[in-house]
């Protein structure tokens, strides 16, 4: 039996010590009729057979490692330095548990503290927690936080241009509560806000890629006594003003872009930061600095009274795990990139995206409708975007997300994402391919093959 | 356990004592000992009115967090600002400098319905 | 273990340094409008070698399954097979985008579907979702499902959930998030649900407000509640549903199917029973299984098989999305790999060995520590640490560290004073169990002969006991240059 160390002889000796004749006797408490049911599952395979099966499944996917990649919409193809994987695969990080015994978990705890510190600087916030499951649940929990903070206030203002998956999660999380969601179009200054508003949510940038006036939203929310929650692109925060600087009370982000593979949607990293005033209302684990009796600095889980294992039904959230290893990957990524690398990656995204947008805008039949953007923008297409996506994907150029995926009323719009992973040659190929897909002939020198 | 003979007690371990026109509310010695080292006290807003039994704040230690319930109804006219910098005052001197809030009672008769120190000592001792 | 103090990244920083090599920009630059641009970014500047050394040294300050016995009760710290890592790190998984379209992600959908099918077979459920990101997330899904079921039948008064007093803190916290209040149920003298109290809670008008019960079986005391079918019958008769917390599934794989004994909806923790690594606190993944009456309410999208093709579908009355996209896919790959390695017989042997290891260890530990419920346990048992005057469970735990063991779970469940919950798991060999029992015996003797060894413990770690009170009074949660 794989992974079980003891032999039959070991088990015989142990059964004797316990005072039973067979292992079956140990399960006498289980209702007899229900004991030892048949499992309609195949028998186990050897390691090499298992790998063969899994490799053959993995090979059936179309991946960013083999294609020119312009699809974002919540999952991003960014560069991950080799040292990230090498470090987190160390058994002492990979197979350690939650750091409840701080004396034997200083590796994990110090890494969390460093992550909190770097994320706080990136977002311009005073406190960052040790993470949520993903950006969508982090945002949902941030809205819950604002809801609980708001006393009798029932209204939540959401951007119409918030990622549809995120809207879905927020709606699920609020299903049991008497809440009123009001969507606003455009920037947060357009939100309808009054004394019954608990929270205004802004996306920075939004699902159209648009960078809205975040500061104006803060002013509007605060004038009405509401909390301001900003969901931000963490790579963009290295280049543009942080949400904290623009007036956010709570910041959330999807940390997948910071050193984590796309992995078909998870495990990802929900990042959350808040002002010091809201510190004790934050869900999730938080690490703080501490000292031992000899004055040695150490790190420890703190403010635990907020958490489920102590507060139980009065806890701010039921969250028990954080994203541990994923958070560590992001921590190592930010450590390797540092001030200079984070900035450079953001600049590469900015420059390449603006280059791509200007070339697409100059292509007959195509228009770029997002005015102010970072790495994603919406393109109006002369033929249905879903057709373009399907045709180009077969040629190993994945051109973006057809907006019709989430909104059937928008068949001619394509959300294009350009990161530091896209070369000029690939961008030029995308432009000519778009043009060909729309039925126009161009003088392309590159033909139809993806260039890596 | 230490007791304040001038105070009356609620079964949830808050005490209340008359001081001039106001009433001082705090946490009993029995409760602070059970909580352990107190790390933070969440206070209500000044001017807010609560009924008898309403939750008006939370007291946290490293291992526990307890809601604070009003022993009698009233309006909060003072909160102990010293607890922000030194929450341990509640552990060291719960009946004196570790007081929590001062209130204007909505109905002074409620004071008489609470346990006196001797009764509280017996009840709390059973826990 | 690395005992040297380690600087913070920020303290190692030096201006101009960088730990990566990035390409030059191959397109013309576009200026960033001044009104948008950030002025300063005070992140550390460290070279790659220093970063690698820093984190390598930090890793050496951790205890882990790869380095020692880690008998944390309720956490199932079994060996995390390396084949899981190899399987999960294939480029075909890592570089697949969730929105690339069903047609272009057939491999991923196939794996999700196969894992859904395997896990629901193990649990005895009609359908499954793998979207929840963790156990607590699965719990939240389950309680949302119960709520949605009652609401769909117009039964809107049912907003109370019965929860045994031995329950994990996530259970009541979950109820609050689902707009429900909790009704605690006492445990009987055998550590199971008190049937009389249950009957009382379900009777009359009170019973009409009960949405259901959240039950962990085996429970948090490591005991299998023999009355599980009666409990389910009683709750169903009163119109409620039964939620199963699968944290302790490791005791019953291939031995008992909860779905066949009245559990209507249940979560499994893939990072416990199914060997995915704990990673210092995550990521986990939660499976949620539903009986036939609740199948339509599952969170989604989930994977479905149509002929030879796989597709994403949303259940007809789904409670909605619990997170973006489809679940912690990278964790699902690991769990699937593990299940394929074990197969049907291996899954049964898993539970058999887990329960045998626990009982064997219990018999040895009982000689020196009182075990709260002396009857046969399942995969874990609860001992009590107050074995001498002035000695507490915390002291036992810290002294175990000096002997190179990670301490068991302490002070849980709440209904046992000075609790020490020990779960060896099936991947531990007999010598490891013998060594642990011997050390516990030694510590029991030290408690009497030289208690300061316990009170001062640990002394062989980079830091001793930390002043958590001061840390909570004046929180320092970030580096402040």
Give dist(CA A262, CA B116) in Å, integer: 64
Q: How many domains does chain C have?
A: 1
Chain B residues with CB-CB distance to A314 below 8 A: 65, 67
Contact A451, A425 (CB under 8 A): yes
Q: Which residues of B touch C472 (CB under 8 A)?
A: 39-40, 60, 62
Chains touching A (at least 3 CB pairs under 8 A) are B, C
For residues A30, A3, C363 and A17, what is the CA-based torsion angle, rounded to 10 degrees? 90
| C28/A contact by beta carbon, under 8 A | yes
Most A CBs within 10 Å: which of C83, C172, C303, C463, as the mutation test of the A interface?
C463
**Min Cα separation A145/chain B (Å):** 16
Nearest to A310 among B40, B42, B65 (CB): B65
Which chains lie within 8 Å of chain B at 3 or more CB pairs, if any?
A: A, C
Joined together, the tokens standing for residue C9 give: 């990244």
User: In chain C, whose CA is at the least distance from the CA of A46?
Assistant: C341
Question: Strands (DSSP E) along A340-380, which ranges?
Answer: 367-368, 376-380
Other Cβ atoms within 10 Å of B86 Cβ, number: 15
Core vs surface per residue A313-328: b (16+ CB within 10 A) or e:
bbbbbbbbbbbbbbbb
Torsion from C-alpha of A131, A132, A138, A143, nearest 10 degrees = -90
Question: What stretches in chain C show pLDDT beneath 70?
Answer: none
Predicted confidence at residue A304, as pLDDT, reads 81
B40/C469 touch (CB, cutoff 8 Å), yes or no: no
Interface of C with A in 236-275 (CB under 8 A): 252, 254-257, 260-261, 271, 275
pLDDT at residue A418, as a whole number = 98
- Residues across chain A: 452
Cα–Cα distance measured from residue C79 to residue C72, given in angstroms and rounded to the nearest whole number: 13
Is residue C185 assigned to a domain? yes
Give chain C positions within 8 Å (CB) of B88: 473
From the list C37, C261, C327, the residue facing A31 with the nearest CB is C261
Nearest Cα of chain A lies from the Cα of C448 at a distance, in angstroms, of: 24
- Give the chain A residue nearest C333 (alpha carbons): A54
Dihedral angle over CA of C324, C330, C332, C334, nearest 10: -170
Q: Tell me the C-alpha distance between A112 and A269, whole Å.
A: 13
The full DSSP string for C268-284 is EETTTTT----TTT---
Residue C222 lies in a domain: yes
* CB proximity under 8 Å: C 406-445 to A: 406-407, 412, 426-430
CA–CA distance, B11 with C210 (Å, rounded to integer): 28
Whose CA is closest to C216, among C248, C188, C240, C186?
A: C248
Nearest CB to A75 within list C93, C99, C330: C99
Residue A439: per-residue pLDDT = 79
What is the distance in angstroms between the Cα of B12 and the nearest Cα belonging to chain C?
19
**pLDDT digit string, tens, across residues A32-57:** 999 999 999 999 999 999 999 999 99
Which pLDDT value is given to residue A316? 67
C326 found inside a domain: yes
Would you call B36 an interface residue with chain A, using a CB distance cutoff of 8 Å? no
| Structural domain boundaries enclosing C315 | 84-341
* Nearest-CA distance C388 → chain A (Å): 23
> Domain locations in chain B?
8-106
Query: Is the Cβ pair A305, B65 closer than 8 Å?
Result: yes
C185 lies within 8 A of chain A by CB: no
pLDDT tens for C318-332 read 999 999 999 999 999
State the smallest CA–CA distance between residue C48 and chain B in angstroms: 38
Question: Does this chain's domain A68-76+339-437 share its CATH topology with A83-332?
Answer: no
Q: What is the pLDDT of residues C351-402, one digit of tens each?
A: 999 999 999 999 999 999 999 898 999 999 999 999 999 999 999 999 999 9
Q: How far apart are CA A346 and CA A420, in angstroms?
A: 8
Q: How far is CA A383 from CA A368, A424, C13, in A?
A: 15, 25, 52
In A, minimum Cα distance to B61 occurs at A305
Q: Do B65 and A314 touch (CB under 8 A)?
A: yes
Q: Do B60 and C473 touch (CB under 8 A)?
A: no
Q: At residue B63, does pLDDT exceed 80?
A: no
Cβ separation B62–A314 shorter than 8 A: no
* Residue C31 belongs to some domain of the structure: no
In a domain, C363, yes or no: no
Q: Which two tokens stand for residue C404?
A: 């190179």
Kindly report the nearest CA distance between residue C417 and chain B, in angstroms.
14
* A·B CB contacts under 8 A: 18
Query: Is residue C475 domain-resident?
Result: no
Count CB pairs under 8 A between chains A and C.
678
Buried b (16+ CB within 10 A) or exposed e, A236-256: bbbbbbbbbbbbbbbbbbbbb
CB contact under 8 A, C19 and A63: no
Best residue in B32, B36, B37 to probe C by mutation, most C CBs within 10 Å?
A: B37
CATH code for the structural domain at A83-332: 3.40.640.10
CATH code, domain carrying C101: 3.40.640.10
Mean pLDDT in chain A? Answer: 94
Q: Is B42 on the interface with A (CB under 8 A)?
A: yes
**Of C205, C216, C193, C200, nearest to C158 (Cα)?**
C205
Which residues make beta-bridge pairs with B69? B55
Contacts of B37 in chain C (CB under 8 A): 469
Q: What is the per-residue pLDDT for A401?
A: 98
In a domain, C221, yes or no: yes
Residues of chain C with C-beta less than 8 angstroms from the C-beta of B62? 468-469, 472
Q: Which residues pair with A228 in a beta bridge?
A: A200
Cβ of B64 within 8 Å of Cβ of A310? The answer is yes
Q: Is the CB of B39 inside 8 Å of chain A's CB atoms? A: yes
* Model pTM score: 0.95
As beta bridge partners, residue A297 has A291
Q: Which chains touch C (3 or more CB pairs under 8 A)?
A: A, B
How far apart are the two ends of chain B, measured CA to CA in Å? 13
CATH number of A68-76+339-437: 3.90.1150.10
Q: Which residues from B are below 8 Å from C473, CB to CB? A: 39-40, 87-88
Q: Is C466 on the interface with B (CB under 8 A)?
A: no
Q: Which residues of A touch B (CB under 8 A)?
A: 280, 304-306, 310-311, 314
**For A304, which of B42, B62, B67 is closest by C-beta distance?**
B62
What is the SS3 assignment for B12-36?
A: CCEEEEEECCEEEEEECHHHHHHHC
Q: In the numeric block, which tokens belong to residue C234? A: 């009683």
Q: Could you tell me the residue ranges of all domains in chain A?
A: 8-55, 68-76+339-437, 83-332
Residues of C in contact with A120 (CB under 8 A): 477-478
> B8-106: what fold?
OB fold (Dihydrolipoamide Acetyltransferase, E2P) (2.40.50)
Contact B123/C at CB under 8 A: no
Alpha carbon of C39: minimum distance to chain A alpha carbons (Å): 7
**Separation between Cα atoms, residue C159 and residue A196, nearest integer Å:** 26
Q: Give me the percent of chain A exceeding a pLDDT of 90.
A: 89
Question: Are C256 and A37 inside 8 Å of each other by CB?
Answer: yes
Residue located via tokens 């051109």: A399
List chain A pLDDT tens, one digit each, 452 residues: 899 999 999 999 999 999 999 999 999 999 999 999 999 999 999 999 999 999 999 999 999 999 999 999 999 999 999 999 999 999 999 999 999 999 999 999 999 999 999 999 999 999 999 989 999 999 999 999 999 998 899 999 999 999 999 999 999 999 999 999 999 999 999 999 999 999 999 999 999 999 999 999 999 999 999 999 999 999 999 999 999 999 999 999 999 999 999 999 999 999 999 999 999 889 888 999 999 999 999 999 998 877 666 666 676 677 666 789 999 999 999 999 999 999 999 999 999 999 999 999 999 999 999 999 999 999 999 999 999 999 999 999 999 999 999 999 999 999 999 999 999 999 999 999 999 988 754 444 444 444 44
What is the distance in angstroms between the Cα of B75 and the nearest Cα belonging to chain C? 28
């Amino acid at each position: 039996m794989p992974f079980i160390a003891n032999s039959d002889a070991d088990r015989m000796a142990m059964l004797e010590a316990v005072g039973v004749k067979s292992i079956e006797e140990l399960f006498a408490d289980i209702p007899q009729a229900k004991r030892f049911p048949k499992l309609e599952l195949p028998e186990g395979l050897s390691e090499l057979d298992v790998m063969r099966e899994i490799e053959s499944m993995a090979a059936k996917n179309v991946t960013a490692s083999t294609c020119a990649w312009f699809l974002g919409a919540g999952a991003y193809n960014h560069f991950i330095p080799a040292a990230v994987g090498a470090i987190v695969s160390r058994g002492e990080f990979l197979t350690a548990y939650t750091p409840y015994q701080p004396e034997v978990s200083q590796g994990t705890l110090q890494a969390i503290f460093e992550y909190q510190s770097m994320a706080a600087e990136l977002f311009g916030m005073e406190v960052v927690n040790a993470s949520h499951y993903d950006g969508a649940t982090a945002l949902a929990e941030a809205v819950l936080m604002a809801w609980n903070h708001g006393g009798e206030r029932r209204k939540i203002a959401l951007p119409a241009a918030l990622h549809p998956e995120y809207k879905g999660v927020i709606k699920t999380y609020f299903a049991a509560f008497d809440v009123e969601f009001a969507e606003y179009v455009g920037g947060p200054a357009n939100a309808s806000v009054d004394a019954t508003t608990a929270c205004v949510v802004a996306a920075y940038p939004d699902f159209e890629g648009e960078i809205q006036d975040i500061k104006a939203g803060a002013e509007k929310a605060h004038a009405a006594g509401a909390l301001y929650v900003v969901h931000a692109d963490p790579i963009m925060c290295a280049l543009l003003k942080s949400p904290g600087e623009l007036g956010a009370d709570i910041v959330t982000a999807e940390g997948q872009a910071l050193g984590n593979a796309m992995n078909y949607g998870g495990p990802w990293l929900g990042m959350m930061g808040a002002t010091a005033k809201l510190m004790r209302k934050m869900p999730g684990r938080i690490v703080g600095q501490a000292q031992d009796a000899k004055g040695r600095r150490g790190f420890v889980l703190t403010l635990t009274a907020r958490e489920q294992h102590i507060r139980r039904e009065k806890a701010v959230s039921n969250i028990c795990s954080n994203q541990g290893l994923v958070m560590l990957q992001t921590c190592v990524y930010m450590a390797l990139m540092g001030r200079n690398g984070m900035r450079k990656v953001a600049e590469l995204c900015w420059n390449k995206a603006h280059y791509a947008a200007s070339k697409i805008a100059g292509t007959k039949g195509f228009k770029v409708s997002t005015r102010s953007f970072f790495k994603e923008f919406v393109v109006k297409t002369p033929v249905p975007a879903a057709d373009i996506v399907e045709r180009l994907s077969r040629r190993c150029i994945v051109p973006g997300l057809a907006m019709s995926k989430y909104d059937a009323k928008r068949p001619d719009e394509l959300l294009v994402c350009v990161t530091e992973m896209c070369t000029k040659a690939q961008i030029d190929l995308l432009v000519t391919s778009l043009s060909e897909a729309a039925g126009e002939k161009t003088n392309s020198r590159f033909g139809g093959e993806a260039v890596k | 356990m230490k007791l304040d003979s001038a105070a009356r007690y609620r079964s949830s371990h808050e005490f209340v004592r008359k001081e001039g026109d106001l009433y001082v509310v705090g946490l009993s010695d029995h409760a602070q000992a059970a909580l352990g080292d107190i790390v933070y006290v969440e206070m209500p807003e000044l001017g807010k009115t609560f009924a008898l039994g309403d939750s008006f704040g939370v007291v946290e230690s490293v291992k526990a967090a307890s809601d604070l319930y009003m022993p009698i109804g009233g309006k909060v006219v003072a909160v102990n600002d010293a607890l922000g910098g030194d929450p341990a005052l509640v552990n060291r001197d719960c009946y004196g400098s570790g007081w929590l809030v001062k209130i204007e009672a909505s109905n002074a008769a409620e004071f008489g319905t609470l346990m006196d120190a001797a009764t509280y000592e017996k009840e709390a001792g059973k826990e | 273990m690395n005992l040297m103090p380690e600087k913070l990244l920020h303290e190692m920083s030096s201006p101009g340094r960088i730990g990566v090599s990035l390409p030059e920009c191959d397109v013309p630059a576009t200026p960033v409008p001044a009104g948008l641009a950030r002025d300063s970014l005070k992140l550390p500047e460290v070279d790659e070698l220093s970063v690698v050394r820093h984190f390598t040294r930090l890793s050496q300050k951790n205890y882990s399954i790869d380095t020692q016995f880690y008998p944390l009760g309720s956490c199932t710290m079994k060996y995390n097979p390396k084949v899981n890592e190899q399987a999960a790190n294939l480029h075909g998984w890592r570089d697949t985008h969730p929105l690339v379209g069903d047609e272009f992600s057939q491999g991923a959908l196939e794996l999700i579907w196969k894992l859904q099918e395997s896990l629901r077979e193990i649990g005895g459920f009609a359908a499954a979702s793998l979207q929840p990101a963790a156990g607590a997330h699965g719990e939240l899904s389950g309680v949302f499902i119960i709520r949605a079921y009652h609401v769909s039948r117009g039964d809107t008064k049912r907003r109370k959930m019965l929860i045994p007093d031995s329950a994990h803190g996530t259970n009541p916290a979950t109820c609050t998030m689902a707009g429900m209040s909790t009704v605690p149920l006492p445990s009987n003298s055998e550590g199971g649900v008190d049937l009389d109290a249950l009957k009382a809670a379900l009777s009359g008008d009170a019973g009409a407000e009960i949405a259901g019960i959240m039950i962990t079986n085996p429970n948090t005391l490591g005991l299998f509640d023999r009355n599980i079918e009666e409990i389910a019958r009683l709750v169903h008769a009163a119109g409620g549903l039964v939620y199963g917390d699968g944290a302790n599934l490791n005791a019953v794989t291939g031995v008992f199917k909860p779905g066949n004994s009245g559990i209507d909806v249940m979560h499994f923790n893939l990072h416990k029973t199914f060997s995915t690594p704990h990673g210092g606190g995550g990521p986990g993944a939660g499976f949620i299984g539903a009986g036939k009456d609740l199948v339509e309410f599952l969170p989604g999208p989930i994977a479905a098989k149509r002929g030879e093709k796989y597709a994403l579908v949303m259940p007809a009355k789904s409670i909605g999305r619990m997170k973006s996209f489809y679940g912690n896919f990278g964790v699902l790959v690991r769990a699937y790999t593990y299940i394929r390695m074990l197969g049907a017989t291996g899954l049964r042997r898993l539970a058999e060995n887990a329960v045998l290891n626990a009982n064997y260890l219990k018999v040895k530990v009982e000689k020196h520590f009182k075990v709260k419920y002396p009857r046969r346990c399942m995969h874990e048992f609860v001992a009590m640490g107050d074995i001498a005057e002035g000695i507490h469970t915390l002291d036992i735990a810290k002294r175990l560290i000096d002997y190179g063991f990670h301490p068991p779970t302490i002070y849980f469940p709440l209904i046992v004073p000075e609790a020490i919950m020990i779960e060896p798991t099936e991947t531990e060999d007999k010598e490891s169990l013998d060594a642990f029992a011997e050390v516990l015996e030694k510590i029991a003797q030290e408690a009497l002969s030289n208690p300061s060894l316990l009170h001062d413990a640990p002394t062989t770690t980079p830091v001793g006991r930390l002043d958590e009170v001061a840390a909570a009074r004046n929180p320092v949660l970030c580096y402040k240059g």
